[in-house]
């Protein structure tokens, strides 16, 4: 089998998939799609993903898009690798809910196309944009902090002592929050988890600064 | 077993869960959380869901949040009901990707808290807000139309001839698009699917106008 990840070093969604591939010990090629230069809207990439967004994962003949779908696919198709979801249905639901707080309620509001729309067609200042950016991260992190700190299921990672889809989504979002210098002090559990990610080889190797297209 | 859905008639995310429960033939109670009156931020509801968002599904002793997690949970825990995902991994990935276009890239930009932030703290006009609203639906529907019309796997529903998670997410988003009168003419496949949903009892019964808290 051959895996190729079309991504971008700073894309949170591509970063998630890199972590998952690393956690599962799957080797993969990387193809960089330069989002700031608009390569995601070129015909060659749109043929892979009509949405014009990264990541797209090529697995043999198949093209997979949307990181939440890719993460579930990897967990289903490579079951002999470390699982990204716990075995029990309520645990799976908890992990998926934590992941969705990031993937549905924080990240979509802060990705590049949205920020460009705010500062472009809507004519907002950089300062207003930065306020928007940090507002939605703080909303989400506040809820996540309560969900994590108030539940005995939280361990060294979001759910127990092994990484799950929740960590796969949270790590890129914490990295992302540094962009406009969000203060993480109100979120001690999230900070502790982030520090743990630094010590884990699968997370460390997926860090944007370590990617071939890092600037 | 006893199921109670805490939702709101016009919430897209609650609408998704209603459709899924109906497709699976599961009976449930409804508890209305009046979003416009801010009931989602009252202590009683925050105790159920620290995020202060609907839906929350109570299944016996368990509280489940985040509609994508709830939908997967229902499919895992009630396997003797019609499945919401196909059996093959690539089909499952396609359905989840279509669902994620709605759940991650359209709906999060247009929910009530975001619109309130635009017209409140950011001081944008109703007209600018409506433009924003329709812009993100059009972006997502344009991609979905290509993904659906260009793939032989699309049938009477998004994936084959039975409803899946993709339809569960798409139907509420189409309903949502009527709010600021988005023109659906450029999206004939989405229009055809929407018409099919009207004829399906599980979708019809989940329609916002049919809910006990409808205004």
* B22-60: pLDDT as tens digits: 999 999 999 999 999 999 999 999 999 999 999 999 999
d(CA A19, CA A75): 13
**B72/A92 touch (CB, cutoff 8 Å), yes or no:** yes
pLDDT values of chain B reduced to their tens digit, one per residue, 215 residues = 699 999 999 999 999 999 999 999 999 999 999 999 999 999 999 999 999 999 999 999 999 999 999 999 999 999 899 999 999 999 999 999 999 999 999 999 999 999 999 999 999 999 999 999 999 999 999 999 999 999 999 999 999 999 999 999 999 999 999 999 999 999 999 999 999 999 999 999 999 999 999 99
Domain extents in chain B: 3-82, 89-204
Chain B residue nearest residue A109, CA to CA: B109
Q: Does domain B3-82 have CATH number 3.30.70.2520?
A: no
d(CA A157, CA A57): 26
d(CA B174, CA B208): 12
pLDDT at A178: 95
Its pTM surpasses 0.90: yes
**In chain A, residues 128-157 whose CB comes closer than 8 Å to chain B:** 128, 131-132, 135, 139-140, 143, 146-147, 150
**In chain A, residues 30-59 whose CB comes closer than 8 Å to chain B:** 50-53
What is the total residue count of chain B?
215
ipTM above 0.95, yes or no: yes
Distance in Å, alpha carbon of A125 to nearest chain B alpha carbon: 11
What average pLDDT is seen over chain A?
97
- Of the candidates A148, A65, A140, the residue with the CA atom closest to the CA atom of residue A104: A140
A203-212: average pLDDT? 98
CATH topology of domain A89-204: Glutathione S-transferase Yfyf (Class Pi); Chain A, domain 2 (1.20.1050)
d(CA A69, CA A53): 14
């Amino acid at each position: 089998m051959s895996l190729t990840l079309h991504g971008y070093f700073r894309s949170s969604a591509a970063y998630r998939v890199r972590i998952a591939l690393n956690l599962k010990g799957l080797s993969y090629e990387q193809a960089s799609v330069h989002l700031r230069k608009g390569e995601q809207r070129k015909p060659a990439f749109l043929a892979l993903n009509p949405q014009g967004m990264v990541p797209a994962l090529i697995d043999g003949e198949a093209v997979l898009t949307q990181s939440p779908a890719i993460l579930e696919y990897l967990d289903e198709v490579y079951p002999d690798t470390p699982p990204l979801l716990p075995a029990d249905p309520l645990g799976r639901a908890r992990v998926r809910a934590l992941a969705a707080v990031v993937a549905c309620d924080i990240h979509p509001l802060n990705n590049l196309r949205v920020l460009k729309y705010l500062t472009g067609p809507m004519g907002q200042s950089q300062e207003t944009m930065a306020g928007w950016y940090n507002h939605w991260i703080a909303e989400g992190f506040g809820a996540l902090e309560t969900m994590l700190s108030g539940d005995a299921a939280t361990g060294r990672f979001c759910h127990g002592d092994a990484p799950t889809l929740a960590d796969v989504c949270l790590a890129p979002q914490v990295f992302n929050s540094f962009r406009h210098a969000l203060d993480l002090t109100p979120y001690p559990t999230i900070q502790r988890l982030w520090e743990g990610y630094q010590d884990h080889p699968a997370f460390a190797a997926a860090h944007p600064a370590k990617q071939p297209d890092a600037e």
